[in-house]
Structure 1
Amino acid sequence: MKFQGVLFFPVTPFAADGSLDEDRLARHIGSGVAAGAGGVFVACGTGEFHALTTDEIERATRVAVTVTAGRVPVLAAAGGPVPVARDQVARIGAAGADGLLLLPPYLVNAPQQGLVRYVEEVTAATALPVVFYQRGTARLTEQTAAAIAALPRVVGLKDGIGDIEQMQRIVRAVGQVPGKGDDFAFFNGLPTAEMTALAYRGIGVGLYSSAVFAFAPEIAVAFHRALEDGDSPLVRTLLDEFYGPLVRLRDEVPGYAVALVKAGVALRGPAVGGVRAPLVDPTPEHVARLAALIDHGLEVVHA
């Protein structure tokens, strides 16, 4: 499974009664694919994985598979307790996904060999390719990363920690795993990953998840193209005038890495409802600031 371009992490729309809105999810995903998404990661972090039932994850996956119709890979998230994650991966496979994003166990601080065991036990329940997400309670040594990469179904590692020096070690260690090498995919999975894209590219990690693509694909695609083409002036302008201010706004309230993205989608359509607890929706003032940032970002890329 090969990834390229901007990776799309859609939000999960909710209807007025709080239920999963499959029709609006289909519209949201369809517009993202039409805008040039290189892959769809449904019901993941931006999609409020933490607040979804296993049934909702399965339904959201089916929507994504139907809408994409094989045009780009579809991955969905699993994670948490091993029995729950195994149930999730089975349902995701039945829904027709191309792969899985495996999130770490929560609240439990495990030794390194326990993290390998966790990935091994969950991936044993599926035939799908798996990308493991390093974040939270899963902080890998290079030896552990290599052991996880050596597992039969693991095809990638997404980093949500941001330790560039350690990621360099991990990239080099995984590169020595027989049969993985160039075929193994590394992802920059930090919030607003564009802010660190240049640093990650320097250690050989060119793929990244773009939350901005969910609400402003024009900006996300223009930034990605500027990176690929070596258009340093546009990269710097977008970092200084759009992404930097966006991150400062995001950091004002915990959980805005998701809630602010969802508000951005609602600003430009379709309506996707609010976020589920424990997150909170952005204040009207913050939504207004977000709208102004989006307008300015669009002006920059269309200049």
Structure 2
Amino acid sequence: MGSVGGQPESVVRALRDGMAEGVLSFPLTSFHADGSLDADGFRAYVAGQLAAAPGALFPACGTGEFFSLDEDEYRQVVGVAVEEAGGRVPVVAGVGYGWAQAARFARIAEEAGADALLVLPHYLVAAPQDGLVAQLEQLAARTSLPLIAYQRGQVAYTAHSLTRIARIPGVIGLKDGHSDLDRLQRLTLAAPDGFLFFNGAATAEIQARAYATVGVPAYSSAVHAFAPEIADAFFAALRDGEQGTADKLLRDFYVPLVELRDRVPGYAVSLVKAAARLRGRPVGPVRAPLTDPSTADLAELRTLLGAGLDLVGASL
């Protein structure tokens, strides 16, 4: 087990403390040029992520291309993350698909020493609220690890459902990817004391201030995956009330990044990976069905990344 012990109370405590100190890291998964897993490259990359002191580490999630990993690769990825974290921060592994397959990944994550699980949206089908609750109930009954539900895509909880999932033993929090602040406010008001929430929008910094107004200041950062200097500078600006610094980073880096990201489906991951490669990180290409950026978009990304690093006194 990781250092926080795998018990809901201790995991909640460690995650809350981490969220107050830094952004949440969702590391990229390293692949060789032929698409095979590069475990050594991933180890080196994760070490770099941890050196930037994130609030927690979330391997094998959306940014880590969970959907493309087989079970053996998943075991290696989570195991490396746990080993490199060495108890310094909580390790929350992604699981997904239907509850039966998610339970298989959950067992692997538990054996590898993860502290908790992020339950990614289930595969393909829309489902009623009773089914969304039952999905978590079935998974919680099959793992001893605490669970964080992720609402995005076809998964969106009502306030009533939130009260139900919060009563499931082991369910400790919710990651939100819908950015519907009306719904999110209703969820936070319905939640019991101590229930965790964090902003999981695709480029969370864009909406970080808005999320904070409904009681959700913590967020994951895709930018941390390739430029922790920028992500940490923005986090510090928000924490310290330096609105001018935050606005400049948003205007000159984050908004142009989102505009570039939105050009092609899948760029939310493949642009991040390309930016990491531009900085010499051993992450390799994305796997199909994602595609790496075009030559023109890569050139634009390089210019934007350089400008962003200049803003925080760092270099490419």
Q: Matched residues in 2 for 1:25 and 1:38: separation?
A: 19
When the two chains are superposed, the root-mean-square deviation of aligned CA atoms in Å is 1.0
Shift of 1:271: 3.0
Tell me which residue corresponds to 1:162.
179
Distance in 1 between the 2:163 and 2:75 partners?
Answer: 30
Equivalences, count: 297
Contact 1:57–1:76 (CA under 8 A) maintained in structure 2: no
Code of the aligned partner of 2:47:
G
Q: Which runs of 5+ in 2 are unaligned?
A: 1-10
What is the DSSP-based 3-state SS (H/G/I as helix, E as strand, rest coil) of the residue aligned with 1:241?
helix
Residue 273 of structure 1 is matched in structure 2 by: 284
Q: How does 1:1-303 map to 2 (within 5 A)?
A: 1=11, 2-3=14-15, 4=19, 5-174=22-191, 177=192, 181=193, 183-302=194-313
CA contact (8 A) 2:45 2:282 kept: no
Q: Distance in 2 between matches of 1:207 and 1:54?
A: 30
Contact kept in structure 2, 1:43 and 1:49, CA below 8 Å: yes
- Give runs of ≥4 in structure 1 deviating > 6 Å: none
Structure 1 unmatched ranges of 5 or more: none
Q: TM-score if structure 2 supplies the norm length?
A: 0.92
Q: Secondary structure at the match of 1:207?
A: coil
Q: Quick check: 1:13–1:25 contact (8 Å CA) kept in 2?
A: yes
Query: What residue in structure 1 maps to residue 6 of structure 2?
Result: none
Q: Is the 8 A contact 2:91 2:116 kept in 1?
A: yes
For the residues of structure 1 that align with 2:228 and 2:304, how far apart are their CA atoms? Answer: 14
Q: Residue 3 of structure 2 aligns with which residue?
A: none
Secondary structure of the structure 2 residue equivalent to 1:302: coil
Q: Give distance in 2, aligned partners of 1:296 and 1:270.
A: 19
Matched AA of 2:215 = G
Q: Distance in 1 between matches of 2:99 and 2:85?
A: 29
Question: 1:17, CA displacement in angstroms?
Answer: 2.7
Identical residues among aligned pairs (%): 50
SS in 2 for 1:16: coil
| Deviation, structure 1 residue 54 | 2.0
Does structure 1 retain, via aligned residues, the 8 Å contact 2:257–2:304?
Answer: yes
Equivalent residue of 1:94, what SS? helix
**2:124 is aligned with what amino acid?**
L
Alpha-carbon deviation of 1:300?
1.1
User: Larger deviation: 69-78 or 50-59?
Assistant: 50-59
Secondary structure of 2:232 counterpart? helix
Secondary structure at the residue paired with 1:131? strand
| Residue aligned with 2:125, SS | coil
**AA partner of residue 66 (structure 1):** E
Opposite residue 249 of structure 1, the aligned amino acid is: L
